[in-house]
Structure 1
Amino acid sequence: MAGTAARLYLNRWAAAKVEVLPVRAGRGAPRPVKKTEYDIPGLEPITYAGRMHYVPGLAKPKHLEWTKDWYDPHHHIGPRLEQMPLWKSQPCFIFHQRTKLLEGVKQALWLTKSKLISGLPDRVLKISEDCSDQFENQDEQVQKIIARAFLWSNKETEPERTKFCPVLVRDVLQFCRMLTFKHPMVSRRALAENYRLATSWNRESDLFRVCGLNGALLNAKSPLEPLASRDEVLATANHVLETFDPISPTIDLQETHVYEEFNDPGFKEGYPYAHPHTLYLTNVCNPPGGPPFNPEHLRAKMIMFAFGNALANAKRLYGEEAKVLDRPVVVQSVATDGRLFQFLVLQLNTTDLNSSDGVKNLIWIDSDQLLYDYANYLPKMKKKVVLEPAGVFGYQPETFSKFLAMYLHGVM
């Protein structure tokens, strides 16, 4: 009993002597405490500059910044943002390839001053009905293209989207180009990749810009004809754009004060295929290793880049002055993740985008069109029972007909 009482006494004494130390978040040595320096007028601090080494109790000397007489790229210090020649007080909000709009299509419609119409235009739907049997054994040929892109072009059990998706779009476009012997106007087009777009516009006292790489653009020597009549264009003035308060329209856009306003459709003056026809986007992981765009963000990206190509071409044709166009500019866009397709047609009616009043632009969207249900490199089995065989199954010919109709739009 005496030993137990002694141990209890020692434990209580140890608990009373314990000092609670502050817990640091993370590892590593604590940051040194920065000493406050005092500058007293009339008193010069005594430093250890003459000793040429550190002396406790003496102040640290202050040396003037040494400027080299030569350019050293390894130790170059650039100017501040305010000192750059392109610095401007008004910020510019940039949409580029990796931008994901929070409000998706609703936000893109406000930024481009556009009215949304569900489904494709009647002219394109009519072409899709007429081109259902353009090729001999068309459905079988398209299924072979899908199998080649998804199954044959790789040796992996689950192919990466960054590999098979561009292969699928490129092969389908090459397949559509085989109709040149039926429609000679197809030969008056060219597909451009890795071109850079740059255009800007004002929207309610804010400056917006679309720039950078965006996809593969099919150009033509002649522009597409307007889809909406003059009366339908003027009737868009009664349309009220949907807002998304309290969210700012500039959310998720890159803000910068160093920029240059210029219009560049991506091609030099005199390029024979100067009119944008269809923009093809692939929904791959961007940046590599990150998540791909969801369908809502992908459709917003289609709107912004199709609008950017149309606006850049309109400024090239009609000048920088903001006005309602006598001849609207029509640009199409197709986006896919290798299985799900998004179709868009944009008609740029006006370049006067500052106010929300007046004539609006028109956008037709046909979303979430499956080209096939599933494609398996290996059969899916459970308890030695084949649930899904290997290969491409559930092919949807209507989706390819719409793809082909948008390709043949302007020649039929």
Structure 2
Amino acid sequence: MRFTAVLLRQHIGFHFKKHWIIQGKRVPAETGAVAELAARGIPVVDPNELTKKKREFVRMELVGQLPPEVKRDQHHPLYKSEPCYLFSDRNVLLEGVKQAQVLLNTVVYDELPLKLEERLEITKIPTQLDRSMQKSVLAALVFDAEQVKTAIVKDPERPAFRLPRNYGISDERRNQLLLSKLLIHCERFAGKSVTSMRKVISNTSFVVPITRNHHERIQISLKADTFITSSVPIKPLDSSVYRPQDLHLPDLFPVKETVTIPITNFYEWQNEYPIARDYKFSHPHTILLHCAPEDVSNLFETPVTDDQREGRALLKAFAVAAARARQLYGDDVKVLPHPITVQAVQTDSKWFHFSIFQLNTLALDGDGAAESRNLWFRKPKMDLYSECGYLVGKPTLRDYNKNVLKHLAVFYGSS
């Protein structure tokens, strides 16, 4: 004999079910409101007649056949006989920063410029602003109400094993919320005198075509998730202090500088800068980049390294500066009359990487490349926190690093 749960004479589930059936058969009582309104000459209209508009569907008859699908062959409107290496947002370079140096004729300094380091030493974030930023980090990464399937997590020791998907805030939204809150605090710190000279634009695209070895076509088509522009350009660094022509580029032999960049015959050979030349706030200032694990991938499905992520940031900063240089000085410019400086901040909502790129020349190979080179200053990436989330049911932010806000505030106020 198996023991079962003891049920009372009037079971609660049965009672509620019968109660809903009885209540569903009730007829609304007549209140006399319709008759009273009619006596006063006020018309009564069914609300469904006002909310639901009647749509008349007209039957269309197709004459002939649908237009055929455009085939990707020699008759395609974007087909070019000369193939082109196309670098987009999903790509990373195999050799990371070294390959980007050779590709863009750029030397790297593992520190920020001296004037910026001096500003970082004397800059102090107020305690009230620092506490507000900690609350904003929790609001962006923990308290947001979005619940979607998060990115796929893989175990390196079991690459074929599919771990269960979790629900939470997507990486794209985490980065977007965190960067927007960081910018708000930078504006509060800088004051109206600086913020009146800045404009913030989201999801801007840049396209730069370059030619190497007189025949190889390379087109860089990238976007900046947040693009900060300024009414005045950033002052370039003195070439007599930083002498890039005295430094040597790395040797990639036997690897070619275009390795792992996809090649195609379908492209549009053009230069694209998203802001008109005569606009007051058209000068590039700072780009903020998202770099979640699912945003980029290697061509051979190997894990993306930190060096490859930094090379991606270098290419994006070059794309912004080069597109602006072509807009100002034409498509045939080589050595720029006035260098263009762009600051770049890359993050995955936990670590932050700060760098500065200065475009001196668009002569990327040949004899003119050795006379002048581009500059890229970078700092090791720093973590904003060690852990942020719910621990034992309590929202927790551990090891908050206030240097991230200080660096971004100095970048925002630089001119």
Relative to the length of structure 2, the TM-score reads 0.72
**Matching residue within 360, 374, 380 for 1:367:** 380
**Matching residue within 225, 239, 244 for 1:236:** 244
User: CA offset at residue 307 of structure 1?
Assistant: 0.2
User: CA offset at residue 308 of structure 1?
Assistant: 0.4
8 Å Cα contact 2:389-2:397 kept in structure 1:
yes
8 Å Cα contact 1:97-1:214 kept in structure 2:
no
Q: Distance in 2 between matches of 1:171 and 1:330?
A: 25
Cα separation, partners in 2 of 1:291 and 1:272, compared to 1, 3 Å: farther
**Matching residue within 85, 88, 111 for 2:80:** 88
User: CA offset at residue 276 of structure 1?
Assistant: 0.9
Q: In the alignment, what sits opposite 1:270?
A: 278
Q: In the alignment, what sits opposite 1:106?
A: 98
Q: Distance in 2 between matches of 1:327 and 1:268?
A: 19
Q: In the alignment, what sits opposite 1:209?
A: 219
User: CA offset at residue 70 of structure 1?
Assistant: 5.4
User: CA offset at residue 159 of structure 1?
Assistant: 4.3
8 Å Cα contact 1:285-1:292 kept in structure 2:
no
Q: In the alignment, what sits opposite 1:340?
A: 351
Equivalent residue letter for 1:199: V
Q: In the alignment, what sits opposite 1:53?
A: none
Q: Render the CA deviation track for 1:346-382: whole Å, top value 9, x for unaligned.
A: 00011111324221100001122111221131239xx
Q: Distance in 1 between matches of 2:363 and 2:64?
A: 50
Secondary structure in 2 aligned to 1:241?
coil
8 Å Cα contact 1:283-1:292 kept in structure 2:
no
Q: In the alignment, what sits opposite 2:255?
A: 247
Q: In the alignment, what sits opposite 1:260?
A: 268
Q: In the alignment, what sits opposite 1:303?
A: 314
- Is 2:204 the partner of 1:195? yes
**Matching residue within 179, 189, 202 for 2:189:** 179
Cα separation, partners in 2 of 1:340 and 1:292, compared to 1, 3 Å: farther
Unaligned runs of 5+ in 1: 1-68, 381-388
Equivalent residue letter for 1:125: E
8 Å Cα contact 2:230-2:284 kept in structure 1:
yes
Equivalent residue letter for 1:341: F
Q: Distance in 2 between matches of 1:70 and 1:252?
A: 45
Q: Give the RMSD, CA atoms, in angstroms.
A: 2.6
Equivalent residue letter for 1:194: N
After TM superposition, the structure 1 stretch with the greater mean CA deviation from structure 2, 185-194 or 349-358, is: 349-358
Q: Which structure has the larger Rg?
A: 1
Number of equivalenced pairs: 328
8 Å Cα contact 1:344-1:365 kept in structure 2:
yes
Identical residues among aligned pairs (%): 25
Cα separation, partners in 2 of 1:292 and 1:174, compared to 1, 3 Å: farther
8 Å Cα contact 1:198-1:266 kept in structure 2:
no
Q: Distance in 2 between matches of 1:285 and 1:240?
A: 32
Cα separation, partners in 2 of 1:309 and 1:223, compared to 1, 3 Å: same
1:212-231 paired onto structure 2 within 5 Å: 212-227=222-237, 229-231=238-240
After TM superposition, the structure 1 stretch with the greater mean CA deviation from structure 2, 201-210 or 287-296, is: 287-296
8 Å Cα contact 2:289-2:346 kept in structure 1:
yes
Cα separation, partners in 2 of 1:86 and 1:400, compared to 1, 3 Å: same
Q: Distance in 1 between matches of 2:330 and 2:104?
A: 18
8 Å Cα contact 2:353-2:380 kept in structure 1:
yes
Q: Distance in 1 between matches of 2:318 and 2:108?
A: 13
- Is 2:141 the partner of 1:144? no
After TM superposition, the structure 1 stretch with the greater mean CA deviation from structure 2, 399-408 or 239-248, is: 239-248
8 Å Cα contact 1:158-1:377 kept in structure 2:
no
User: CA offset at residue 155 of structure 1?
Assistant: 7.2
Q: In the alignment, what sits opposite 1:153?
A: 144
User: CA offset at residue 335 of structure 1?
Assistant: 0.7
**Matching residue within 398, 401, 412 for 2:403:** 398
**Matching residue within 105, 118, 131 for 2:123:** 131
User: CA offset at residue 89 of structure 1?
Assistant: 2.9
Q: Distance in 1 between matches of 2:283 and 2:290?
A: 21
Q: Distance in 1 between matches of 2:395 and 2:190?
A: 34
Q: In the alignment, what sits opposite 1:350?
A: 361
Relative to the length of structure 1, the TM-score reads 0.73
Q: Render the CA deviation track for 1:37-95: whole Å, top value 9, x for unaligned.
A: xxxxxxxxxxxxxxxxxxxxxxxxxxxxxxxx95623xx14255323354333221111
Q: In the alignment, what sits opposite 1:377?
A: 390
8 Å Cα contact 1:346-1:363 kept in structure 2:
yes
Equivalent residue letter for 1:329: I
Equivalent residue letter for 1:362: L
Q: Distance in 1 between matches of 2:226 and 2:345?
A: 10
Equivalent residue letter for 1:252: T
8 Å Cα contact 1:179-1:186 kept in structure 2:
no
